[in-house]
Structure formats: structure tokens, C-alpha cells
């Protein structure tokens, strides 16, 4: 299956690593992303405060460009997704605005017909590929699978979780054997601000005693300025050490990689 693709400005600049990961993930799942031609900045939120019609026309131009392909439009940037979806909704609810914007687009040789479905990559993975499709892809690949454990619990979702509980939550969906290594933060603060309703995720050498096939990699990967988040540079350095085989043990696949098979999508 192939989708139209609107990267937005960030993914071509500071968010380049996001785009590289996205393209690689979709490629591994047998999904195509066809970047639309001559796309422009979505306008984010600033343009709306300057001139509403021009801001909507700017975003609607991208939708008009995508329409002839007749495919869903994947929009990975959260800001772009919000702006394009708001534009589509606004054009439906305010006929006079739509009339003015469509007139402007027609002057540029474009037609807006409100036929493009805007989709975030996570929604595509959940609804089109599905849990079983993702599970199949993970077991098919011979690549090393590394789970980067949260540095803090998420209120209402992972309260009281340690590293082992995070692994168990994954294995409830995938079954055992999909994770080869887990990166766990070992620079743990005594406590986090009360307003966060969160606790540091602790780690010990026996955390994975029930998971003997998983290698535990302990490293300082927390952001000092916000201990609810990973530090991207620390985390990247840790992942690269794993990738280059410079850490304490050598990764060996625990099973031969099965022959690659196309995934069955759910839609």
C-alpha cells in the first residue's frame, strides 16, 4: 500500500532523524510514502494570527496538491497534522471562507474537493498494519531489537512500573523473544516533582531475572533539565555503542531470521 506523504518543514531540517526513521519503518513494513510535489509550509500557528484566509489557503494548497493521487495523506509532524486537519474542518464549517480560499486556489490552477483523508503515522501503524502485523515484522527482521525503557512512570498508565514491568507489557502483545536488549537509565533521582505524578523508573541487575534472553544495558540517558525525558545525545551515544558492538557483550540473534513475507494489511 502506498500513501501520499507531506513531510513539512521540520522533517527536512531539525527533524531529519524523524523522517529517516519514519521512511525506514514504512519501508520495512512494505508501505510506500510518495512525497507530494511542490508542497509548501503549512503555516503552523503563526500565520493564522496574521490573516486567517491566507493561512487557510496556504494549508489548503497542500491538500489540493495531494487530491489528484486519490490516496490518504500521511502527515508525521504533529503541528502540520493539526494545521491541515483544522483547515479541512474550517473549510467544511465556514462556506464563505471555503468560497474565498477555493477561488484563490483556482487562480493558481488548483482545485480543492475535500477528498483527502489526513492521517498520522501512528494511526496508520495501529489501524492499517495492526498489532499482529507489527509483531510479524519484528520477528521477521534479523536486526537487533532494542527497547529504550522510560526514565519515569506515566501517570495512570505505568504507575509503579520498573524495567521488568515495561518488558512484560510489551511481551503481552508480542510474545517472548522479540526484544534483544533493553536500555535502562541508571542516573536515578530520589524523586520527581510532586506535580508530575510520576516516579523514576528504577533498575537493578536482577530486574530481568525472568527474561534471561534479554541483555540489560544500564546507562545515564536522562535529561538533567527535565528528568521526565531522555537526553537525546546521551541516548544516541548509548545506542551507537550497542550498534558498533563496543559494549560489554556481543549481540547474537536468538533465532534464524525467517524468509521475508509481505504483510497483510487490515484495510
**Cα–chain center distance at 54:** 30
Structural domains present in the chain: 2-122 (1.20.1050.140), 142-244 (no CATH)
β-strand partners of 226: 223
Tell me the pLDDT tens digit for each residue of 6-62: 999 999 999 999 999 999 999 999 999 999 999 999 987 666 667 888 999 999 999
**Region of residue 38 (left: phi > 0; alpha: psi -120 to 50; beta: else):** left
Supply the pLDDT for residue 47.
Answer: 67
What distance in Å separates the CA atoms of residue 11 and residue 20, rounded to the nearest whole number? 9
pTM: 0.80
pLDDT of 117 > 90? The answer is: yes
59 and 42 in contact (C-beta within 8 Å)?
Answer: yes
What distance in Å separates the CA atoms of residue 171 and residue 200, rounded to the nearest whole number? 22
Cell readout for 158 is: 505505568
Amino acid at each position: 500500500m502506498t500513501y501520499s506523504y507531506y513531510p513539512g518543514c521540520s522533517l527536512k531540517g531539525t527533524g531529519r532523524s524523524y523522517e529517516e526513521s519514519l521512511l525506514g519503518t514504512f519501508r520495512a513494513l512494505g508501505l510506500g510514502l510518495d512525497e507530494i510535489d511542490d508542497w509548501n509550509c503549512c503555516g503552523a500557528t503563526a500565520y493564522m494570527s496574521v490573516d486567517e484566509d491566507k493561512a487557510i489557503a496556504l494549508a489548503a494548497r497542500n491538500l489540493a496538491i495531494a487530491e489528484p493521487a486519490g490516496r490518504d495523506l500521511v502527515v508525521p509532524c504533529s503541528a502540520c497534522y493539526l494545521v491541515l486537519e483544522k483547515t479541512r474542518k474550517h473549510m467544511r464549517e465556514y462556506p464563505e471562507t471555503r468560497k474565498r480560499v477555493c477561488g484563490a486556489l483556482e487562480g493558481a490552477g488548483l482545485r480543492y474537493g475535500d477528498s483527502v483523508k489526513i492521517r498520522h503515522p501512528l494511526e496508520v501503524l495501529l489501524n492499517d498494519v495492526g498489532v499482529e502485523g507489527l509483531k510479524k515484522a519484528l520477528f521477521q527482521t534479523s536486526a537487533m531489537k532494542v527497547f529504550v525503557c522510560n526514565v519515569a512512570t506515566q501517570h495512570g498508565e505505568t504507575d509503579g512500573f520498573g524495567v521488568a514491568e515495561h518488558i512484560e507489557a510489551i511481551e503481552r502483545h508480542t510474545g517472548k523473544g522479540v526484544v534483544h536488549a533493553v536500555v535502562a537509565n541508571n542516573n536515578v533521582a530520589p524523586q520527581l516533582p510532586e506535580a508530575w505524578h510520576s516516579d523514576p523508573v528504577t533498575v537493578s541487575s536482577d530486574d530481568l531475572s525472568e527474561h534471561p534472553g534479554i541483555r540489560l544495558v544500564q546507562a545515564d540517558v536522562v535529561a538533567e533539565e527535565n528528568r521526565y525525558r531522555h537526553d537525546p545525545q546521551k541516548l544516541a551515544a548509548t545506542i551507537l555503542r550497542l550498534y558498533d558492538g563496543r559494549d560489554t557483550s556481543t549481540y547474537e540473534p536468538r533465532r534464524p531470521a525467517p524468509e521475508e513475507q509481505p504483510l497483510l494489511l487490515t484495510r
